[in-house]
Amino acid sequence: MLNPRFQHLPAHTWTQLRTLLDGLPAGRNQPLDLTIGEPRHPMPAFITDVLEANRDGYAKYPPIQGTPDWQRAVAGWLERRYGLSGIEPDRHVLPVSGTREGLFGVAFVAVPEVKAGQRPLVLMPNPFYQCYAAAALAAGADPVYLPATAETGFLPAFAGLDEAILSRAALIYLCTPANPQGTVADQAYFDALIPLCRRHDITLVVDECYGEIYTGAPPTGALEACRSLAERGLGDRAAPYANVLSFQSLSKRSNVPGLRSGFVAGDPRLIAAYRELRSYGGAPSPLPVYAAAAAAWSDEAHVEENRGLYRAKFDAAERILDGRFGAYRPGGGFYLWLDVGDGESAARTLWSRAGVRVLPGAYLSRPDGSGYNPGAAYVRVALVNSLEVTELALQSIRDTLGDEAGT
């Protein structure tokens, strides 16, 4: 009765966390939860206003391709944010109901039944967003987990991959800024990866849902990198986005994870195929959500204010942790990736002694052939709460784990 493809699905992150901690009493009357990457900054007030003003739209079926206003807003944002030109919404852009749904569904478009005469492969970083592995298995591919460790700059290294792997690879998932490490892929990284994907006919799916959360320079976008390659004669000017899809979301950018609104942009061949698939099984956003999303993509003031809130929390992390546990200021995103020696043990200690809930890094990664799990020594700390709560939690982490970690 059950689909055997999912027998190798990684144990879900939150199931593992509940198993680890739910039997332990919290060491604080009001526990501090820093596990889930759910933004908790205020939702922009204009979002509510737009939803209310367009409430009659809930009585109508919405279009798969988005409304004209939504299309114009997204195309305009891509042009402003990444310096793109010639974006044609009907060809280059498609709405998705949040990036998780979109990232999962795209595998059914990009993964053939057979590649190089064998079962296809889907490559992804390790640690990774669990959706990637589920998508690979659902599409009939074998996941391949590539180490994204300190030794590789916390991004997967593709240059040394065996030809046998590359010939079978149908899709590569890349998250930048990375979850959980916050590392950003720069133009040089894309200069190597995008041509490799084109040589081997691999679809590069770039998860950029954290791309608007940064405290330094804006992260390079995948489509921005494609444009640069084409301008330098290293890509086809007539098809600058070939083999590349970028997924973007309002969840982190605009603090509306419950709106479930994002989009995918890039290669028009893939966009057309994905639109066709979604016309059968997709769940388009309601018309009021399209209207609210159009307003959000058209406004930068609330995004700049949001970045300022995260900047203050990273300032606090630098001050409070002062380099303990290998703490560093990430290029983007809102996580700390702390080396605590044993992530599960540290998570149990923090919960039972301090009432601070963090996520063991092992739950975001898979062991390699030798049994080594690249996330096992780490915990992920989500800086999504208020500055006051964040400072309290970071102080508790420092004071509770300091002696055990020898810092």
pLDDT digits (tens, 9 = 90+) for 242-281: 999 999 999 999 999 999 999 999 999 999 999 999 999 9
Domain boundary among 282, 299, 316: 299
Q: How far apart are CA 256 and CA 141, in angstroms?
A: 32
Residue 4 has a pLDDT of 84
In 41-116, which ranges are E strands?
93-96
21 and 100 share a domain? no
Q: Indicate whether 54 belongs to any domain.
A: no
Q: Indicate whether 261 belongs to any domain.
A: yes
229 and 150 share a domain? yes
Query: How many structural domains does the chain have?
Result: 2
Q: Indicate whether 49 belongs to any domain.
A: no
Q: Indicate whether 53 belongs to any domain.
A: no
68 and 188 share a domain? yes
The dihedral region occupied by 89, where left means phi > 0, alpha psi between -120 and 50, and beta the remainder, is: alpha
Q: Indicate whether 52 belongs to any domain.
A: no
Maximum alpha-carbon separation in the chain: 61
258 and 347 share a domain? no
Q: How far apart are CA 192 and CA 4, in angstroms?
A: 36
12 and 158 share a domain? no
Domain boundary among 241, 276, 299: 299
Q: Indicate whether 51 belongs to any domain.
A: no
Average pLDDT for consecutive 10-residue bins of the chain (407 residues)? 78 93 94 96 97 98 97 98 96 96 97 97 97 96 97 94 97 98 98 98 98 96 98 94 98 97 98 97 94 98 98 98 97 98 98 98 95 97 98 98 60
Q: Indicate whether 91 belongs to any domain.
A: yes
Residue 9 has a pLDDT of 78
Domain boundary among 249, 266, 299: 299
Q: How far apart are CA 37 and CA 59, in angstroms?
A: 32
188 and 230 share a domain? yes
State the CATH number of the domain containing residue 112.
3.40.640.10
Whole-model pTM over 0.85: yes
Q: Indicate whether 47 belongs to any domain.
A: no
Could you tell me the residue range of the domain that residue 124 belongs to? Answer: 59-299
Terminal C-alpha separation, the chain:
53
389 and 285 share a domain? no
Pairing, β 121-126 against β 142-147:
parallel
State the CATH number of the domain containing residue 346.
3.90.1150.10
In 296-353, which ranges are E strands?
335-339
pLDDT 10s digits, 340-376: 999 999 999 999 999 999 999 999 999 998 999 999 9
Q: Which two tokens stand for residue 305?
A: 């204010």
232 and 132 share a domain? yes
18 and 89 share a domain? no
Residue 136 has a pLDDT of 97
86 and 207 share a domain? yes
In 354-397, which ranges are E strands?
356-357, 359-360, 378-382
Residue 403 has a pLDDT of 55
284 and 152 share a domain? yes
293 and 311 share a domain? no
